[in-house]
Chain A
Amino acid sequence: MLKINNVKKYFGDKEVLKNLNLEINEGSIFGLVGVNGAGKSTLLRCIAGIYKPEEGETLLSGQNTYLNEKIRKDIFFVSDDAYYSLASNINNLKEFYSSYYNIDEEAYQKYLKLFGLDENKQINAFSKGMKRQTLLLFALAIKPKLLLLDEAFDGLDPIVRYNLKKSLYEFIDENKSIIIISSHNLKELEDICDSFGILEDGKIETYGDLLESKQNINKYQVAFKEDVDESVFKQFELLHMSKEGSVYSLVIKGDKENIINKLNELNPLILDTLSVNFEELFIYEHEGGDK
């Protein structure tokens, strides 16, 4: 289990992470979302033991990831813009990683073939997507207990994205690890993640099971014979409201049946219920947070 306890991180005077708490169980693919500058990369670097939190701790299997270098053997961090030394190739990188990690040769060969990478070609001559795949190759061959992917799907073409998603499914099935993926591409995350967390204002404001959360937030379209006083909607946990003609679009958080019953009490002419996708969930939660 990954446990983040009261983590605070400052950049100068700016508090980027504010008393952040989070728990993620084994076998979970966790989607970390947030607006630009919310602190997603900072959080991942704190978990990876790169940044030292000013307060709090991040524990993997009960071990502090910053203080205990041995536990970092079970963590692999794929940054959004990885570093490759000049003139290095995949073979050099293998040499480097094999100094610290146990590389599964079979998995290494399998993913090398799947991603179609040339071991002897200079990495600096690779495209952005190939560079990303190079690190993912090692991430999957090392088989860590905790895999941290920062902006994982950026710069990848659809086929590679598909291959990556497939590889991650296999990986989680085989290893029962934890994968945390931060991305702006919520459609990709929706396909792959089973849980999520929305990082806002330095805290995880909303987190949990993705399916459950999506079921808990629904879009209701209602129309009334006569104009209604909008204050009647205040009884709901309203995340978003808009009106087109006489039709109200309401995004409400809460038990679907209960909300439908309450809306029916207002005698609507029409009442339709639509489910939201992850992107809408993020937008509405973000709007709700702003309110």
Chain B
Amino acid sequence: MFSKEYFNYLLKSKKYLLLFVFLLTIMNILSNKTVDITLGIECVICFGLAYFLPVYIFSYIHNKKAVDTFFSMPISRKAMLITAIIFIILSCYIPLALATTVFCVSKEIGLTTIVYLSELLVAISAIVVFNTAIYLTANNVLDGVIMICAYTALPLAIYLLCDSLAASYIAGVINVDVPFIGYLSPIYLCIKTVEELMYQGTNWAYTIGLIIILIVFSIILIKAYVNRKVERADTPSDRFFSYPFIIYVYVFICLIMISSANEYNYSTILEFLKDNFIIYVILFAIFIAAHFIYKRKLYFSYKLVAFYVAALIISLIFTSTLKTSQGFGLADRMTKTDAFARYEYTGYTFSDSLVKEYRNKINNDGVIYYVSIYANDYPQYRFTNVELDKQTYDILEKIRLNGKNDFYNYNKRKSSASGTLNVITKEQANYSYQIFETIDYNTLVSLAKDKHVIVRIDTDSGSYRLNANGELVKDY
């Protein structure tokens, strides 16, 4: 399983590179920086090596001439792989372990240092095994590097897609919280592990995620390497999980993103397609260009057009379904709560009643008033463990639900948004709605009657608070 001979050869042949990394580590440790910065720099070096070394050490597998030399050697493929992987892991880990030990000693972290060192070993191992497995999906060096970049960025692309879909189709959602996506990204988990070490906390979920990645990708890697058809070296990377998968997944993500970014603004799909035709043509050109990189020649077939059209239709059906089902019902499911803990409304109002009521009193000719409502919430203090009056709650909930309905009825909106209503649940989940209706004088007075509500009106001449009697009081 492990070849001492091959390990020694790697050690001898890569001695200058290892020496360079070691010197870099020593210089980093001895420099007059804080231990936090030292550890941060060392992480960048070692994670960078975890990307570079698999490409460098396994470059022979993508070279027709080199496979003859390496695979005719009297060493089993499994031993060759495992030895090289151990060599890469140690090359990345030893400098990082050194910097971590210095960090832990200076911060007087006792025995927990061993836990952190173990976590970092798992993190480095996972990222090396993951990158190597991805590199081997390709058949040449350039494609291998492209695959590593594409797979590293894929969880981020999925996250951005979820974020875009949530913002477009789930009323009230500001940013989507999908923690599982982070667990698809070894580099994200590695960074989180280092953060844990820096802030001296422990979150075993990250380590467990890395262990799962390590085990799964080790199995995939060993199987792929042992059964690899070396005669495919230096040929187009047509394995399913190489270009075909990556190109189609990214194109599909882009198509859904385009639909989600614009589609809700249109009443008919045809109108939407007409206005976005040029974007779709550009994406199709990128799709063809990606095939050019994949096949190393201009490639065009009816299958590509068919896939693109099918993916476009599916993306439109998907986003339309999201729209009609109000984000698959998530808009209601996510905000389902007995009562929100806090409300905060800020916005301009053009309410005639408000203007009429206060124009003389505040001696201001301005017609635009900036209104803030803080229900159970105020910058200077926060009410805790109190319940809003039912009337207050009903008024604010009505405003929120109107905001939610306006979100899904873009074409029925009468004006542009005048304000934003933020609501916070007892679990501190935050939702935000754009409010299109104007809040009139009577509503503001009704709200001001609740002692847990503060209504502030800002004008050019100063800030005022509305009291329970509907009178304006100068607010300082």
Chain A residues with CB under 8 Å of chain B are 11, 42, 45, 48-52, 69-73, 75-77, 79, 81-83, 85, 92, 95-96, 99-101
Please list 7 pairs of residues, one from A and one from B, whose beta carbons are closer than 8 Å in the complex, sorted by A's number: A11-B231, A50-B67, A69-B76, A77-B68, A79-B65, A95-B12, A96-B9
Q: Does B229 contact A (CB under 8 A)?
A: yes
Contact of A75 with B76 in the complex, beta carbons under 8 Å: no
Within 8 A of A (CB), among B392-434: none
Other-chain residue from B9, B73, B227 in contact with A72 (beta carbon distance below 8 A): B73
Contact of A50 with B71 in the complex, beta carbons under 8 Å: yes
| Docked pose: A42 CA to B230 CA in angstroms | 12
Q: Which residues from A are CB-within-8-Å of B66?
A: 83
Are A100 and B65 CB-contacts (below 8 A) given A52-B229, A95-B12?
A: no
Overall SS of chain B's interface: helix
Contact of A79 with B12 in the complex, beta carbons under 8 Å: no
Are A69 and B67 CB-contacts (below 8 A) given A92-B13, A100-B5?
A: no
Within 8 A of A (CB), among B59-96: 60, 63-69, 71-76, 79
Which of B9, B72, B230 has its CB near the most chain A CB atoms (within 10 A)? B72
| Docked pose: A48 CA to B231 CA in angstroms | 13
Q: Does B321 contact A (CB under 8 A)?
A: no
Q: Using a Cβ–Cβ cut-off of 8 Å, how many residues does chain B contribute to the interface with A?
A: 25
Q: Which residues from A are CB-within-8-Å of B8?
A: 99
Contact of B74 with A83 in the complex, beta carbons under 8 Å: no
Q: Which residues from B are CB-within-8-Å of A83?
A: 60, 63, 65-66, 68-69
Contact of B74 with A69 in the complex, beta carbons under 8 Å: yes
Are A69 and B75 CB-contacts (below 8 A) given A92-B13, A95-B12?
A: yes
Contact of A51 with B230 in the complex, beta carbons under 8 Å: yes
Q: Does B151 contact A (CB under 8 A)?
A: no
Contact of B68 with A45 in the complex, beta carbons under 8 Å: yes
Other-chain residue from B60, B63, B68 in contact with A50 (beta carbon distance below 8 A): B68
Contact of A49 with B71 in the complex, beta carbons under 8 Å: yes
Contact of B74 with A100 in the complex, beta carbons under 8 Å: yes
Other-chain residue from A72, A79, A92, A95 in contact with B74 (beta carbon distance below 8 A): A72
Other-chain residue from B64, B74, B227 in contact with A73 (beta carbon distance below 8 A): B74
Closest to A78 in B: B68
Q: Which residues from B are CB-within-8-Å of A69?
A: 73-76, 79
Q: Which residues from A are CB-within-8-Å of B75?
A: 69, 100
Contact of B68 with A49 in the complex, beta carbons under 8 Å: no
Are A96 and B65 CB-contacts (below 8 A) given A69-B76, A72-B74?
A: no
Closest-CB distance, B195 to chain A (whole angstroms): 39
| Docked pose: A231 CA to B6 CA in angstroms | 66
Task: For the A-B complex with A48-B72, A50-B71, A75-B72 known, give 17 more contacts whose Cβ atoms are closer than 8 Å.
Answer: A42-B231, A45-B68, A45-B231, A48-B68, A51-B231, A52-B229, A69-B73, A70-B74, A76-B72, A77-B68, A79-B65, A83-B60, A83-B69, A96-B13, A99-B8, A100-B74, A101-B74
| Docked pose: A275 CA to B12 CA in angstroms | 57
Are A82 and B65 CB-contacts (below 8 A) given A96-B13, A100-B74, A100-B75?
A: yes
Q: What 5 A-B pairs have minimum CB-CB distances, sorted nearest first?
A: A83-B65, A73-B74, A72-B74, A83-B66, A99-B5
Q: Which residues from A are CB-within-8-Å of B69?
A: 79, 82-83
Q: Can you list, as one digit per residue, whether each of B1-26 has a CB less than 8 Å from chain A (1) or not (0)?
A: 00001101100110000000000000
Closest to A16 in B: B231
| Docked pose: A48 CA to B67 CA in angstroms | 12
Q: Which residues from B are CB-within-8-Å of A79?
A: 65, 68-69
